Structure 1
Amino acid sequence: MDLGIKGKHAIVCASSRGLGRACAQALAEAGVNLVINGLDEQRLIAVAKDIEESTGVKVIPVAADVSTEAGQQALLAACPEPDILVNNNAGPPLKDFRQLNKEAMVEGLNMNMLTPISLIQRVLDPMAQKGFGRIVNITSMTVKMPVAGLDLSSGARAGLTAFLAGIARTVADKNVTINNILPGYFATDRLEGVFNAGMARTGHDRDTVAAELAGKIPAHRFGVPDEFGNTCAFLCSQYAGYITGQNILLDGGLNPSAF
């Protein structure tokens, strides 16, 4: 399917690995030129080269911490008026809320709520003026299905969701959409942290912990990053202009809600 976005320009935050990398790859396969981002410069350069060689699009690597003002400025210097913005960032580690001090809470809010809002503030009006814009925020299934120990991540991402819900409706008539994708358990590096926590809690080996977790998912497997990336690309396509302000849950059926 031709997604109708060939030649567009996208910023994909935290895209040197995992779900962000999958989103970047899927957009590149649709013909979108990219600015990709990560902290490890050498890894980022290698990813940029790989995407360019496999798709033929232009890929600019920007090694920076997107949570900082300098990092955001660097991304926007590389692509001042993106057609597509994919917000993504690492989240706070698993921790009992009693152990969170104010500094940790402020950092978590900055990473998963304030940073994406800041980038959206800068790109939204130019998108509206051009009559095309797609903003996708990678949040988490914990927005709908809280997990104890990820309370800070859940709260920050839920705050982002609520903050943008009204804003999304103000630009829908300009062909600008704002949506969120809520991943469940995907086979990425981040899932290893979940396994490690499970091993520490139960004393079981990795394979046992992984099998027990997969068994709780109705699909009986973990998500494949390509599945996530292609969902992101569709939300950025010409066909998704009537989808806005939505939370797309990709969790293999784990959340037992009807809505």
Structure 2
Amino acid sequence: MDLGLKGKSVLVSAASKGLGKATALEYAREGAIVTIASRNFEQLQQTAEEIKRITGQAVTCAEMDITRAEDVENAVSTAVSAGGGLDVLVYNAGGPPAGMFDQFDDAQWQKAFELNLLSAVRMIRASLPHMRAKGAGRIITLTSSSIKQPINGLILSNTIRTGVYGLTKSLAAELANDQILVNTVAPGRIETDRILELDAFSANRQGISVEELQSQSFRQIPVGRYGTPEEFARAVVFLGSFANTYITGQALLVDGGMVKGL
């Protein structure tokens, strides 16, 4: 299948590692002009070099603290300059800390809001004029399976990620006439540094080993294992491509069948 991505300008945030990195790599494989953004510029450059080595596609780097409005604007401008406009935005951000409701004060709630919701608003706002100028676009927000089934010990993520999905769903209706499709892709248990950190937190809270906790997790996933970043990225790239011409406002869970709700 031709995904219609060759020569398209793509911006992926939080792309120095994990799901963002895997997604940027898959876009580069499809011949897109990829810009990656992250706070850690040294790691970002290493990722760009790795992607070029694998795909032969040059990748542009933009240093960005996603909670800083000026950094967001600069990252979008960098992608526009590199790709002659902007066709695809993949919004990704690191998750807020794990913990229970009583552990967090107003400042921590505000920080989570700025990290995982206001940053999405800003990135999309900065990207839209360039997509409208092109006459079409694709926006993917990366969220979490918690948008369908809250995860114990992740009160901040459960609340804020659901807000990102609400934004996604609303924008899908608002932007359809602009030929801009907006979807969210929600990872379940995908083997990244973030999941390993959360497993360590949960294991400590339950007083068991990480290995035992992961064994329990595997039994809750019909596929019987954690997913890989590459498996997740392939789903993102299809929805955020021009082969997708009619799917918008949807949440695709990449979770190996873990979430049982209809």
TM-score, normalised via structure 1 length = 0.95
**In 2: Cα distance, 1:153 partner to 1:191 partner:** 13
CA distance in 2, matches of 1:164, 1:54: 32
Q: 5 Å matches for 1:38-57?
A: 38-57=38-57
Is 1:74 the counterpart of 2:71 in the alignment? no
SS of the counterpart of 1:240? coil
Aligned residue for 1:110?
A: 114
Partner of 1:147: 151
Aligned to 1:50, the other structure's residue is in SS state helix
Per the alignment, residue 173 of structure 1 pairs with 177
The answer to whether the 8 Å contact 1:176/1:241 transfers is: no
Match of 1:195 in 2: 199
Partner of 2:3: 3
What's the CA shift for 1:99? 1.5
C-alpha distance in 2 between matches for 1:184 and 1:221: 11
Q: Distance in 1 between matches of 2:73 and 2:108?
A: 24
Of 221, 225, 228, the match for 1:221 = 225
Shift of 1:8: 0.6
Residue matched to 2:19: 19
Deviations 1:25-70 (A, max 9, x none): 1111111111112222221111101111221223111222112123
Distance 2:188 2:96 in 1: 16
List alignment gaps of at least 5 residues for structure 1.
none
Give, in whole Å, the separation in 1 of the partners of 2:56 and 2:233: 18
User: Are the counterparts in 1 of residues 13 and 92 from structure 2 also a CA contact under 8 Å?
Assistant: yes
Please give the per-residue CA displacement for 1:64-116, whole angstroms capped at 9, x wherever unaligned. Answer: 21121232122023123421100000111111111211111111011111111
With 53-62 and 24-33 compared, the bigger mean Cα shift is at: 53-62
Report the equivalent of 2:240. 236
Gapped runs of 5+ residues in structure 2? none
Between 1:178-187 and 1:143-152, the stretch displaced more is 143-152
Partner residue in 1 for 2:211? 207
Q: Which stretch shows the higher mean deviation, 107-116 or 54-63?
A: 54-63
- Aligned-pair identity in percent equals 32
Report the secondary structure of 2:157's partner residue: helix
Give the C-alpha shift of residue 160 in structure 1.
1.9
Structure 2 letter corresponding to 1:225: P
Which digits, 9 at most, give the CA deviation of each residue in 1:193-224, with x for residues without a partner? 12212331233333222111111111111011
Q: Which moved more, 1:124-133 or 1:43-52?
A: 124-133
Aligned residue-pair number: 258
CA contact (8 A) 1:105 1:152 kept: yes
- Partner Cα distance (1:225, 1:14) in 2: 14
- Once the two structures are superposed, the pairs formed by residues 236-255 of structure 1 within 5 Å of their partners are 236-255=240-259
- C-alpha distance in 1, partners of 2:249/2:191? 27
Deviation at 1:151, TM superposition (A): 1.6
